[in-house]
Amino acid sequence: MVQFRKRKSDGQSFPVGTAKKIRANNPSNDVGGVTTKGIRVPPMQSTRTEPLANFIISKTNWNIGFDSNGNIEDVGVSSDFFGWNAGKEEVGTFLGRIKKSKITEQFVTETEDKPIIFTKFKEQWKKNLGTGKVEVDKNDDGIFALSGDNNEWDQGGNEVESNEQFDDIFDNEELDLTEEEQDKVKDKTFFTLTEYSYGDYLEEHGEEDRKDILEVLKSSDDFSELFDGLGTEEFEIQRLENVLLGKESAFRVTIREAIASLRKEGEISESES
């Protein structure tokens, strides 16, 4: 079971009085206004706006909650297999996960006649990204989801996928190790992998990612344009390359540290260079 980070807030909407009720409380034969002592008073123009109703994507458990002022209050998804709920501080994470889900087109279709929903999301996401240094859970909304989400960042560090990762580094860096010594380095490395965390990623690429997201938001007038912008080959490949290069760099550090430790222990010979 996949369990997303959870923060829950229950949004509510409150209906306002109908025109029928208003007329019932202010009876008059003068339709459209009230007559008082022979003077016709024009109907009052209400300054209140109808609050947005909570929105659920049809036949799914993806939902958006609005408060009584029509502002986004919470977002999330729930099912028998996993669940995630968050406040308005993570609208970018919500959209990033919608983008990578199977219901992207459905979400676009069902919100086409509700442009105010896009406007609310656009305003809130820009606000969440804020200014200053990009930091975890402060002003990084959407970056976690768009750079790999839980599949990439909740693994607790790097994972060795094949011996090819070792072979490439051994060959490229000309470490001059025998096959037996290389095996010792591999064995030690499996237990001492240097972690490349989401925090490390933000240190290196947080400013860049925030700038890219804000540019897409600025050029988008609806969810269709937003998802297109976040789904361009340039946008997605840039994030993928940044993650892979970061993990590869951390992996190289692990290997160098393993070699140094094994040489200190006398398990492999000293470098001739």
DSSP class per residue in 144-202:
HHHTTHHHHHTTSS-----HHHHHHHHHHTT----HHHHHHHHHHHHHSPPP--HHHHH
pLDDT in tens, 83-137: 899 999 999 999 999 999 999 999 999 999 999 999 999 999 999 999 999 999 9
> What burial class does residue 64 get, using C-beta atoms within 10 Å of its C-beta: 0-12 exposed, 13-18 middle, 19+ buried?
buried
Q: Give 177's pLDDT tier (boundaries 50, 70, 90).
A: confident
pLDDT in tens, 193-239: 778 899 999 999 999 999 999 999 999 999 999 999 999 999 999 99
Structure tokens at 138: 């402060």
With a cut of 70, say whether residue 26 has pLDDT above it: no
CA distance 120 to 74: 12
The answer to whether 141 and 91 are in contact (CB under 8 A) is: yes
Cα 47 to chain centroid distance, Å, stands at 35
Q: pTM here?
A: 0.74
The packing angle between helices 198-218 and 115-129, to 10°, is 140
The side-by-side arrangement of strands in the sheet containing 62-66 is 55-56, 62-66, 72-78, 83-87
**pLDDT on residue 51:** 61
pLDDT in tens, 130-164: 999 999 999 999 999 999 999 888 755 455 555 67
